[in-house]
Amino acid sequence: MSTVDNVRLTYLWNHRSQLKQQEWGDLYNLIQSILKSYPDAILSTLLYEKEDYVHDFFIQKVRDKKDNIIPSVNTISSRFVWTAFQRFLIDCLRKENPKNPEIKGETFKTISMDDMGDQFDPCGCMDIDISIMEEYGLTEEFIRQRSNAWLECQPHWVLIYLGLMYCCVDNNEPLIHFAKRYGIASYHYNARKLGTTTNPLPNTLIGQWLETDFGINLQQDHPEVLSDIMKILCDESKKRISFLQNAGVIHVHQNE
């Protein structure tokens, strides 16, 4: 989203109690535009079409909450809207599957978007260096879009490796045990193929993605921008994993 759109979104959001009909339409279009690139795979576990949830989200979490705001506090960004939408979808999932014990009801509690405030950091990536990305002609939004497009096309085991092993710095579980728990065959071969056991190489899945989508020559040294891209890829991977775990889509194999 452009800087102009971001400023406009923040203004409209913080003045919801005073908006005219045309301004409500502008606010809806901005939010709809942001959620257009929200991963369809996450929505596939729900009953209705994506447009239905976007509309309900706007009505319930944006329009109907207009009187519960502190205008001088919130700064609204695309990440803010994405994260609030995900929380809304978790609520919808619980309502649509009230008897499903695998949906962890306490993991995602309903939080008003107004309560998050400008201190809320949904991606957990406060140390991303925007200036470094700009040197390569990249933006955080573009990297997130490309990360989700890439994850969408990968086999199931890639997301499990990234979201539950590679991107979790506190996971010291041996690979053989991790692979057994999640039913991943040929785990050493797949880890090398993905590119998580070494720095990204051109002949790995991650290496090919970096070269194809971002034009980065991995034969040269680009440690800082690669680090930022991988942080964002990890963040998007963990978001998907969190949702799919709550939806009961990812299952852990019981020890024999």
How far, in Å, CA of 53 to CA of 153, rounded? 23
What is the pLDDT, as a whole number, of residue 75?
Answer: 65
Using the predicted structure, report yes or no on whether residue 7 has a pLDDT greater than 60. Answer: yes
Same domain, yes or no: 112 and 135: no
Lowest mean pLDDT of 6-20, 157-171, 238-252, name the range: 238-252
Using the predicted structure, report yes or no on whether residue 107 has a pLDDT greater than 60. Answer: no
Assigned domain for 60 exists: yes
What is the pLDDT, as a whole number, of residue 74?
Answer: 54
Q: CA-CA distances (angstroms) from residue 181 to 72, 104, 240, 251?
A: 48, 19, 19, 9
Q: Per mean pLDDT, which of 97-106, 175-184, 240-249 is the most reliable? A: 175-184
The domain of 73 spans 3-116
Same domain, yes or no: 93 and 29: yes
Helices (H), 117-204: 130-135, 140-153, 156-161, 175-181, 187-194
The answer to whether residues 32 and 54 touch, using CB atoms and an 8 Å cutoff, is yes
Q: Which two tokens stand for residue 83?
A: 């994260």
Confidence of residue 25 (pLDDT cuts 50, 70, 90): very high
The answer to whether residues 159 and 234 touch, using CB atoms and an 8 Å cutoff, is no
Assigned domain for 178 exists: yes
* Percent share of the chain, pLDDT over 90: 11
Same domain, yes or no: 135 and 226: yes
Same domain, yes or no: 136 and 190: yes
Same domain, yes or no: 97 and 181: no
Assigned domain for 254 exists: no
Comparison of pLDDT for 158 and 117, the residue scoring more: 158
Please identify, among 76, 94, 116, the residue that sits at the C-terminal boundary of a domain: 116
Assigned domain for 124 exists: no
Same domain, yes or no: 18 and 107: yes
Q: How far is CA 224 from the centre of its chain?
A: 22
Assigned domain for 234 exists: yes
Please identify, among 116, 138, 166, the residue that sits at the C-terminal boundary of a domain: 116
Same domain, yes or no: 94 and 166: no
Q: CA-CA distances (angstroms) from residue 221 to 46, 135, 207?
A: 43, 14, 13
Assigned domain for 29 exists: yes
Helices (H), 1-129: 3-14, 21-35, 40-43, 50-57, 78-96, 113-116
Using the predicted structure, report yes or no on whether residue 103 has a pLDDT greater than 80. Answer: no
Contacts of 104 (CB under 8 A, 6+ apart): 245, 246
Same domain, yes or no: 99 and 62: yes
Assigned domain for 218 exists: yes
Same domain, yes or no: 108 and 162: no
Q: Residue range 75-83: average pLDDT?
A: 76
Q: CA-CA distances (angstroms) from residue 11 to 56, 121, 198?
A: 22, 20, 45
Same domain, yes or no: 216 and 178: yes
Q: Considering its fold, how many domains does the chain have in total?
A: 2
What is the pLDDT, as a whole number, of residue 100?
Answer: 57
Please identify, among 63, 89, 116, the residue that sits at the C-terminal boundary of a domain: 116
What is the pLDDT, as a whole number, of residue 253?
Answer: 63
Confidence of residue 69 (pLDDT cuts 50, 70, 90): very low
Question: What does pLDDT average to over the chain?
Answer: 76
What is the pLDDT, as a whole number, of residue 110?
Answer: 38
Q: Which two tokens stand for residue 128?
A: 């991303």
Same domain, yes or no: 107 and 210: no
Same domain, yes or no: 146 and 105: no
How far, in Å, CA of 174 to CA of 165, rounded? 10
Give SS3 for 106: coil
Assigned domain for 255 exists: no
Using the predicted structure, report yes or no on whether residue 70 has a pLDDT greater than 70. Answer: no
